[in-house]
Amino acid sequence: MPAVKAPKASSSARAASQPYAMPLSPPASSGSSSGSMHLLENLSQPAQTMYNKMINSMPEGHIYTQSELTELVGISDPLRLMGLIQENMNMGLVKMLHQGDDLCYQAIKKEDAEKIQSMTKDEAMVYSYIESSGTEGIWTKTIKAKTNLHQSVVQRCLKGLESKRYIKNIKSVKYPTRKIYMLASLQPSIDVTGGPWFTDSELDTEFISSLLSIVFRYIMSESFPTEEDRRRLPPPASKKTNGKPTKNKKREDIVYDQVSYPANYRFYPSITQIHEFIRTSGITTVELAQSDIKALLDVLVYDGKIETIDHGMTYRAILGATVDDETSVQASEFDSIWSYGPFL
Amino acid sequence: MPQYEEELVVLLLRDIYGDIAAAVVDTLLKYGRLTIQLISRYSKLPISTIQRVLVPLVQNRFVLYWVDDKAGGDNATYVAWTRNIYNIVRSGVFVSFVLDRFPDTAGAPDIVKNLLLYGHFRVSDYLTPQLPSQAAASKSAAALLLQHKLLTTLRSHEFHPESDLYMRIFKRRLAAIPRSKAVSEAKREVQAHAEATEEFTVLKRIHDDVNDGLVAATNGSSNSIKRGHSLTDTSPSKTVDDSAVLALNHDKFVVLMRAQILVQLVSKRIGTVTAAVYRQVLDCMEPRLFRCVDNTDKAINVTSLEILRNLDPDLDLGRAVTEGSNKKRSRSSSSRASKRQKRDHGTDNSASESDESIEGNNISDHHFNEEDVDDEDDEDHIYDSAADNSRIEQLNLHLSMLSCNHNLPFIKRVGNKGGGEWTIDFDTLTARVRELEYDKLITQKQGAIACRLLRIIRDKGRIDEKQLARIALLPPKDIRAQLTALHEIGCLDLQEVPRGTDRAPSRTYYLWFHKPKSAYALMTQAVAKTMVRCYERIIEERARGRRPTIMTKLLREDVRRDEANMLTPAEREELRRVRGTEERFTAHMAKLDKLVLIFRDM
């Protein structure tokens, strides 16, 4: 999408103050949707040539500065050039935009220009604002504010445009009650749809929880020594009963079931590692960025399942945490505290 | 709202000391400080009864008294001391503690039980009615308990309320500062306060002396209290001062309970071997820890050598820590190389499956290859001096595992002499323990989602609903219900930030935040309320079992001695059921008391 700013009202008297100005002299066949050639036919020959050159020589959507246009058509006289541009603009085939301080021009496809011509003035204005909002979409209230039209007028235009399938209504994630409109052909931006966690503007909790458990299992497997590690350790020293009486005879014998990595173990998984794991495992088709993984890891930390080592460089699972949030045997221990209704 | 605590306290007294004692304390709690006449007036009991009942109450220091010098006559005023009455709940745990710790000391549990009964007694009074053999055992038991500070001596000032003691000291100090034109009244008072606080602190810590209540045995004089600082001086030459008055030291008990709780936490979070090491660390520190909330600035350091010396020699430190194979290290032997491959297809087991007895080879990072062979030999000769070196390294490994976690700083390294100096920052650690315990409670009540939200809010300070939903990856609708529920139980609080001048709800931000102190206080009250109900139930079950005839039958001496034969099977069954219920509730009360300990006393 070329970096165009919304066409501002030009301060000079010349040229259009509105992007899709109606032709200054209405052609005889305005209002009827005849073929696209029809528009071109109304142009003079040089104007037609210029238009065709603009369409064909550069990729679609290219913005021409005045100097580029001069080069293109080979007409160095600015007045004449202006005239040709004006003709095209009258037909809606060329659009004028601001790029910084300069004025520049963009060729419009014939079909699009046709569309605009067939719309009413208001509809055209509304359409232009919707188009300018790109993949962000625009709110009805904003349209109303910018066009200064009455609410009912705006509504009518929107309905008309929607029925012609030029625009569509999408649901925003941030503001679920707002009606956001954008061009029918475009895909809503990430901002609006909320990113990988949202499906149909709704938080996909199952997807998230399955991802969470996968990530947790992975971290868990990297956090503690595995079976093989344990088995390679030498056999236990036989308990020596020496002559010295031990101080605490009745202390229970310790169950030697601890296996941990030492304090300076450096190989707990980091974000990049986890990201790599998720990516290569092919669990999901949705592309996940590292920031998404970080969000998942934060949630796991807040669940009390993992903890960060080195202030966030790496992650480690907390001993005793389980994948599911099943309540442990201890859970019912303190039920009595809470069974006396809301506190006090 | 100490209302439920007071209810509990009165209930305890009613059960153990009778209705009148309970009524007197109830009056005192309702009205504050009273003289006997006033107590009589408000409780509608005759003065003689009150006088009779106050005796055990004062003996146990449930009620403190104060005689005002100026008022003249002996008009003593009485104040109830809730905290001490609450400690009755802990009596069972105290006894079992002593049994655990000093299993070979015959006289110890008896001393404790008698102290629970009488509140305090003089040593000579205790020893006189006993047979000589018993007396000797009791004497040594008392000496042992005194050394461990589970018992302390009582001074006369400890029967007075603290506020009165302080005021007396303050007045004295104030009078000692001469009036002069140069120093204003306010300044005098400030200085007097400072001096008085100092003196008061010294007074309160009078039991911290190592030789409190002890005298040298060879030397016959009873007043030679040496100012010794050696902590290893447990020589048998010290024995109990016969004229000392003994009482239970609940402060020390809380310290020991705290140690137990911390060790349990280490065992859960890291492992059993490290927990044993940690317990040893706490044991080494214990003689210097007199109370949990200690406002002195001195930090207590322990060295690795000291820990090593006291560590159970059978404890195999090496069996718990492993380097693990990893791709960055070079391997000398093929077995380890094959190990590396096996580890790569990482297994899915959670650490809780590590139930078999596991062998440990512990090697520190850079000594890996060279010391390998040495360590294998050393495992079998633990008492070699060469092995001692590696044992201290193993010990240091465990200690560094305890200190490496920033979320739970069990221990902190502060120096290098003596193989490594370590200290424990109890304030941060106990705060963290409280957080974890509270999280556990919230999870049990509200569920894991609520706990997630609580942790996020705790981390972020003040946060609004939308942000919360975004961070927690949960839909806003679900969150709202949880948040309001947490708000109801006092866990969270709302902060309103208006956007405009009007306070319309749609134009204000609502920020959630968590205040730990008030949340814990509210929860402790709920715990107190539960304890009240629990105890009422115990009393009910005990007093009115299904068949009162059993209870009366049990009062007979011959039945009590020989229950197996004197009761019918049905009666025995009934008894078992009633006793079982009582046990369950008492155990439950102990668990609740542990919560109170964590949140209020630790």
A232, A235, A344: residue with CB nearest B1: A344
pLDDT given for residue A117 in this prediction: 75
Given an 8 Å threshold on Cβ–Cβ distance, is B351 in contact with A232?
no
Q: Which two tokens stand for residue A36?
A: 């696209």
Residues in chain B closer than 8 A to A318 (CB atoms): 269
The C-alpha of A229 sits at a distance from chain B's nearest C-alpha, in angstroms, of 6
Given pLDDT bands bounded at 50, 70 and 90, which one contains residue B520? very high
Residue B396: burial class (beta carbons within 10 Å; 0-12, 13-18, 19+): buried
Given an 8 Å threshold on Cβ–Cβ distance, is B358 in contact with A256?
yes
Which helix (H) or strand (E) covers residue B248, if one does? strand B245-248
Given an 8 Å threshold on Cβ–Cβ distance, is A258 in contact with B270?
yes
Given pLDDT bands bounded at 50, 70 and 90, which one contains residue A268? confident
Average pLDDT, chain B: 79
B124 touches chain A (CB under 8 A): no
A319 touches chain B (CB under 8 A): yes
Given pLDDT bands bounded at 50, 70 and 90, which one contains residue B150? confident
Say whether pLDDT at B492 is over 90: yes
Give which of A172, A205, A229 to mutate to test B binding, by max B Cβ within 10 Å: A229
Say whether pLDDT at A15 is over 90: no
Q: Which two tokens stand for residue A264?
A: 């300076």
Residues in chain A closer than 8 A to B315 (CB atoms): 254
B380, B403, B489: residue with CB nearest A237: B380
**Average confidence (pLDDT) over B457-469:** 91
Distances in Å between the Cα of B594 and the Cα atoms of A46, B43, B96, B490, B591 are 94, 34, 15, 21, 5
Cα–Cα–Cα angle for B579, B581, B582, rounded to 5 degrees: 65
**What is the distance in angstroms between the CA of the first residue and the CA of the last residue of chain B?**
20
A251, A302, A330: residue with CB nearest B452: A302
pLDDT given for residue A144 in this prediction: 86
How many contacts (CB atoms, under 8 Å) link A and B? Answer: 251
Share of chain A above pLDDT 90, in %: 0
Contact predicate B67/B14, CB 8 Å: no
Query: Which residues, other chains included, contact B84 with Cβ-Cβ below 8 Å and sequence gap of 6+?
Result: B60, B61, B62, B250
Could you read off the pLDDT of B76-106 as tens digits, one per residue?
889 999 999 999 889 888 888 888 888 888 8
Residue type, B496: E
Share of chain B above pLDDT 70, in %: 81
**Average confidence (pLDDT) over A308-329:** 68
Residues in chain A closer than 8 A to B456 (CB atoms): 302
Could you read off the pLDDT of A105-127 as tens digits, one per residue?
777 777 777 777 777 888 888 88
Distances in Å between the Cα of B531 and the Cα atoms of B9, B65, B89 are 10, 28, 10
Which helix (H) or strand (E) covers residue B175, if one does? helix B162-176
Given an 8 Å threshold on Cβ–Cβ distance, is A343 in contact with B362?
no
Distances in Å between the Cα of A59 and the Cα atoms of A62, A92, A104 are 6, 19, 16
Name the residue of chain B whose CA is nearest to A322's CA: B350
A282 touches chain B (CB under 8 A): no
Distance CA B465, CA B447 (A): 18
Distance CA A39, CA A91 (A): 6
B339, B348, B352: residue with CB nearest A228: B339
Name the residue of chain A whose CA is nearest to B486's CA: A342
B475 touches chain A (CB under 8 A): yes
Distance CA A258, CA A109 (A): 72
Contact predicate A321/A305, CB 8 Å: yes
B268, B269, B448: residue with CB nearest A325: B448
**What is the distance in angstroms between the CA of the first residue and the CA of the last residue of chain A?**
62
Phi, psi of B489 (to 5 degrees): -90, 10
A320 touches chain B (CB under 8 A): yes
A233, A264, A295: residue with CB nearest B359: A233
pLDDT given for residue A228 in this prediction: 60
Give which of A257, A307, A315 to mutate to test B binding, by max B Cβ within 10 Å: A257
* Complex ipTM: 0.76
Share of chain B above pLDDT 90, in %: 23
pLDDT given for residue B381 in this prediction: 33
Give which of A203, A223, A248, A302 to mutate to test B binding, by max B Cβ within 10 Å: A302
Residues in chain A closer than 8 A to B382 (CB atoms): 237, 240
Give which of B353, B358, B383 to mutate to test A binding, by max A Cβ within 10 Å: B358
B79-83, B210-214, B303-307, B406-410, range with greatest mean pLDDT: B79-83
Residues 181-210 of A with CB under 8 A from B: 197, 202-203, 205, 208
As beta bridge partners, residue A107 has A94
Average pLDDT, chain A: 71
Distance CA B24, CA B44 (A): 10
pLDDT given for residue A237 in this prediction: 52
- Torsion angle of the four alpha carbons B5, B10, B13, B15, in this order, in degrees rounded to the nearest 10: -100
A225, A260, A325: residue with CB nearest B270: A260
Residues in chain A closer than 8 A to B474 (CB atoms): 203, 205
Q: Are strands B214-216 and B238-240 parallel, antiparallel or unpaired?
A: antiparallel
**Average confidence (pLDDT) over A41-62:** 75
Strand, helix or coil for residue B498: strand
Give which of B354, B467, B484 to mutate to test A binding, by max A Cβ within 10 Å: B354
Give which of B232, B363, B383, B444 to mutate to test A binding, by max A Cβ within 10 Å: B444
Least confident of A184-193, A216-225, A301-310, B567-576: A184-193
Residues in chain B closer than 8 A to A242 (CB atoms): 313, 383
Given pLDDT bands bounded at 50, 70 and 90, which one contains residue B458? very high
Given an 8 Å threshold on Cβ–Cβ distance, is A296 in contact with B276?
no
- Which of B284, B398, B281, B367 lies closest to A258 in space, CA to CA? B398
pLDDT given for residue B332 in this prediction: 28
Distance CA A158, CA B583 (A): 75
Given an 8 Å threshold on Cβ–Cβ distance, is A257 in contact with B268?
no
Contact predicate A157/A123, CB 8 Å: yes
Residue A174: burial class (beta carbons within 10 Å; 0-12, 13-18, 19+): exposed
B298 DSSP assignment: P
What is the Cα Rg of chain B in Å? 30
pLDDT given for residue A52 in this prediction: 79
The C-alpha of B367 sits at a distance from chain A's nearest C-alpha, in angstroms, of 13
Given an 8 Å threshold on Cβ–Cβ distance, is A322 in contact with B350?
yes
- Torsion angle of the four alpha carbons A235, A236, A240, A245, in this order, in degrees rounded to the nearest 10: 180
Could you read off the pLDDT of B323-346 as tens digits, one per residue?
655 443 332 233 333 333 333 333
pLDDT given for residue A335 in this prediction: 54
pLDDT given for residue B512 in this prediction: 94
Entry pTM = 0.75
pLDDT given for residue A206 in this prediction: 84
Name the residue of chain A whose CA is nearest to B381's CA: A237
Annotate chain A with three-state secondary structure.
Answer: CCCCCCCCCCCCCCCCCCCCCCCCCCCCCCCCCCCCHHHHHCCCHHHHHHHHHHHHHCCCCCEEEHHHHHHHHCCCCHHHHHHHHHHHHHCCCEEEEEECCEEEEEECCHHHHHHHHHCCHHHHHHHHHHHHCCCCCEEHHHHHHHHCCCHHHHHHHHHHHHHCCCEEEEECCCCCCCEEEEECCCCCCHHHHCCCCEECCEECHHHHHHHHHHHHHHHHHHHCCCHHHHHCCCCCCCCCCCCCCCCCCCCCCCCCCCCECCCCCCCCCEHHHHHHHHHHHCCCCCCCCHHHHHHHHHHHHHCCCEEEECCCCEEEECCCCCCCCCCCHHHHHHHHHHCCCCCC
Residues 272-301 of B with CB under 8 A from A: 272-274, 276
B320, B455, B588: residue with CB nearest A336: B588
Q: Which two tokens stand for residue B481?
A: 């219900």
Contact predicate A142/A132, CB 8 Å: no
Residues 304-333 of B with CB under 8 A from A: 312-316, 318-326, 328
